[in-house]
Amino acid sequence: EPEVTQTPSHQVTQMGQEVILRCVPISNHLYFYWYRQILGQKVEFLVSFYNNEISEKSEIFDDQFSVERPDGSNFTLKIRSTKLEDSAMYFCASSGLQGKAGELFFGEGSRLTVL
């Protein structure tokens, strides 16, 4: 069964450092997402991406965040200057049928710890 894969599974970084989280969505999907989950809290939407541009973003997704699809397979989330409160589990998701309220497929997540 096709799956969304994410790397790294866990990254520890110092506050102020740049972090790039990588995702390989399911190959024929067209819609890509990042969500995050702070320990013990709800899963929160960050951003959606379609046709090489951001289609929607939340208030969390400020100027410190960016997304990119550098080639035909990867989808990345960059945090330019990490803060302590960026420590969370970050989930990538992809969908092929958004227009039909289709299902999202999530990866297993990348745990980011900011010290």
Partner 1 sequence: DAKTTQPNSMESNEEEPVHLPCNHSTISGTDYIHWYRQLPSQGPEYVIHGLTSNVNNRMASLAIAEDRKSSTLILHRATLRDAAVYYCILIVLGAQKLVFGQGTRLTINP
Residue numbers at the binding site for partner 1 (CB under 8 A): 4, 33, 35, 42-45, 48, 55-56, 58, 91, 93, 98-101, 103-109
Gap between the Cα atoms of 111 and 97, Å rounded: 28
Smaller CB separation from partner 1, 14 or 28? 28
What is the arrangement of strands in the sheet containing 75-79, beginning at the earlier edge strand? 5-7, 19-24, 75-79, 65-68
Q: Which residue has the tokens 């790039």?
A: 20
Smaller CB separation from partner 1, 47 or 79? 47
Smaller CB separation from partner 1, 50 or 78? 50
